[in-house]
């Protein structure tokens, strides 16, 4: 759900042939490369709205200021 299109990773995973033996290492390496390339090309979705981030930021700054006032009042 975090990525725009995960289908290439799914295709690479579906193409795995688990019946390969040691004499077919080049084929196994190619399958591994296809999976790694698909994962490397994933693009994260952009957040629908940046508002929740700004709410979190303001919450964090208010927490910081309240803890600063708490510590100064105890001095």
Q: How many residues does the chain have?
A: 75
Handedness of CA 52, 53, 54, 58 (dihedral sign): positive
Map out the domains of the chain as residue ranges.
1-48
- pLDDT at res. 6: 95
Mean pLDDT value across residues 36-40: 97
Would the pTM count as exceeding 0.75?
Answer: no
- pLDDT at res. 29: 97
Mean pLDDT value across residues 22-29: 97
Tokens for 65? 């200021």
Instruction: Give the burial class of 35: count Cβ atoms within 10 A of its Cβ; 0-12 exposed, 13-18 middle, 19 or more buried.
Output: middle
Whether pLDDT at 67 is above 60 = no
């Amino acid at each position: 759900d975090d990525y725009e299109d995960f289908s290439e990773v799914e295709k690479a995973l579906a193409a795995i042939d688990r019946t390969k033996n040691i004499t077919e290492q080049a084929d196994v390496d190619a399958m591994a490369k296809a999976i790694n390339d698909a994962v490397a090309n994933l693009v994260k979705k952009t957040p629908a709205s940046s508002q929740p981030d700004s709410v979190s930021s303001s919450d964090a700054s208010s927490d910081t200021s309240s803890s600063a006032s708490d510590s100064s009042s105890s001095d």
